Amino acid sequence: MAEAVSTIYYRKARIFNLDGDAFDISGKINSFDYFEDVLKQSVSAEIELNASYSYVNQLPIRGGEKVELDILTSFGENGFQREEDTALYVYKVGKWTTENGSESCKLHLTTLEHFSNESTRCMRKYNKLLISEHVRDILENTLQTKKDIQIESTANSYTFIGNTKKPFYTMTWLGSKSISKVTEKSGVSGEGKYAENKGTAGFLLYENIRGFNFRSVDSLVANTQVQNNSSDLEPKFKYIYGGKIIEENKLYNALKIINFAFEKTIDLKQSLPIGMYCNQFYSYDTRKNILSLYNYKLRDEIKGSPKLGNEETLVMKSEFTDIPTRTMFRTSDHGTLDSSGSLTESQSDSGGDAMLAKSASRMNLLFTQALNILVPLNIELAVGDLIYCEFPRLEGEDKSEVDENMSGNYVIREVRHHFAAGQCTSSLKLMRDSYGLYGPNQ
């Protein structure tokens, strides 16, 4: 069985009760797990404690207690909770047992912004601005985060009313209406029954160890392309599968894949009902009394667009890609946002809510493939990062050739960093939108 062995040292591990008193727990930690997910707006963690002292009753732990950690491993020191604004807070106590004079429990932790999201609302009207500026405003002024914010500028503007929605919900909703500047085609063409949805859309809001990120699906994969000898960003790490790993702190072992498993590839039963390959969107203009039907074919619009693999377009039977498998409908909101009773120019040109159809297709395409890998602990890995993975081609006993379909560039979708005495690993769920090798060996 593959394994990875390393050393771990808690230079600082403290929990503060609600009165602000600090308690050292560095010698009581069995394990620490840190989680990130590109589909979640806040990071989380878990600490397993075992002590002769009852922290739950004597501290006591009732929820909202701050936890600070500073960890040193054979891979380097961590970046968790070293500053006041990046501390984690207890939201749940699980697996709490007492036996033979000792107490064991698991503390579930999350960020301060997660709690703020439950106690704040987007209340006002947001005037016509770039959607990316709305997201920045909500993060800084509604959630009042002090963390670093990485916002990709959108190509389109939007005006809306907050309707007392929660900040994370509002920003995710705005992401589905956002168009990236790296997208070559956008908006709609035509009107009535001859209208068409053009290009791709969709942004993701997520938190990783570096702070909050608002990035488009197109930019996540655009920087990975190396065709035409142009690439803005090379993979941060290059992992190769093979062999048993005993000491991860050895340079030649640090970038080996311990084991891997494909969780998902193609699922037509799931893709067709959501209209991923082909859909139609009815939009009723209440001012002009016009019903427009926007047809959208992902295979046509993804052709030539940024992708992780080297497939030019979708390789799929035409009956799956050319016949709509989902129908959506929206009514325009004339008269509610503008005193003249008209849509803003930017909303009208981009097709208004018709963007929802293509953003749903593009995002679901990115999640088509899901690959789980286990590697030696690497605390520099974060969701949204690009890594290169290389796997051997299975042809009998000969495994010397590279599998050019499985190998290539992937975007990290989920991260779990596991810290425990004698075994520290990073579990990654990777995603990509197409097949074919693009990477350092091309």
- Cβ atoms of 410 and 431 closer than 8 Å: yes
- Confidence at residue 15, expressed as pLDDT on a 0 to 100 scale: 92
d(CA 91, CA 109): 6
Write out the H or E segment, with its range, that includes residue 160: strand 157-161
Residue 196 has φ and ψ, to the nearest 5°, of: -140, 145
Give 242's strand partners. none
Residues 419, 8 contacting (CB under 8 angstroms): yes
Closest CA to 296 of 222, 349, 347, 355: 355
Q: What is the DSSP string of 270-332?
A: HHTTTTSSEEEEEEEETTTTEEEEEEEEHHHHHTTS--SSS-SS----HHHHSS---EEEEE-
pLDDT given at position 439: 40
Residue 141 DSSP class = I
Structure token digits, residue 96: 């709490």
- HEC per residue, 43-82: CEEEEEEEECCCHHHHCCCCCCCEEEEEEEECCEECCCCC
**Tokens at 264, concatenated:** 């998902």
Q: Which residue reads 């197109």 in tokens? A: 218
pLDDT in tens, the chain (442 residues): 344 545 677 888 899 999 989 999 988 999 999 999 999 999 999 999 998 888 888 888 999 999 988 887 766 666 555 455 678 999 999 988 888 878 899 999 999 999 999 999 999 999 889 999 999 999 999 999 999 999 999 988 888 899 999 999 999 999 988 888 876 655 555 555 555 555 567 899 999 999 999 998 888 887 554 333 444 456 778 898 875 554 545 555 778 898 998 887 777 888 888 788 888 888 887 778 888 888 888 877 777 666 676 666 677 777 778 888 888 888 876 656 665 545 554 454 445 566 667 777 777 777 788 899 999 888 889 999 999 888 887 765 556 678 887 888 899 999 999 998 778 899 999 988 776 665 433 4
pLDDT of residue 367: 79
**Shortest CA distance to 3 belongs to which of 244, 240, 251?**
244
Residue 24 parent element (H or E):
strand 22-24
Tally of CB atoms within 10 A around 403: 16
Residue 302's pLDDT is what? 73
Sign (positive or negative) of CA dihedral 334, 339, 342, 348: negative
Instruction: Tell me the C-alpha to C-alpha distance, in Å, between residue 388 and each of 46, 143, 258, 361.
Output: 29, 35, 15, 25
Q: How far is CA 139 from CA 69, 113, 118, in A?
A: 25, 9, 14
Residues whose CB is less than 8 angstroms from the CB of residue 15 and which lie 6 or more positions away in sequence, other chains included: 22, 23, 25, 55, 59, 61, 65, 66, 67, 68, 90, 107
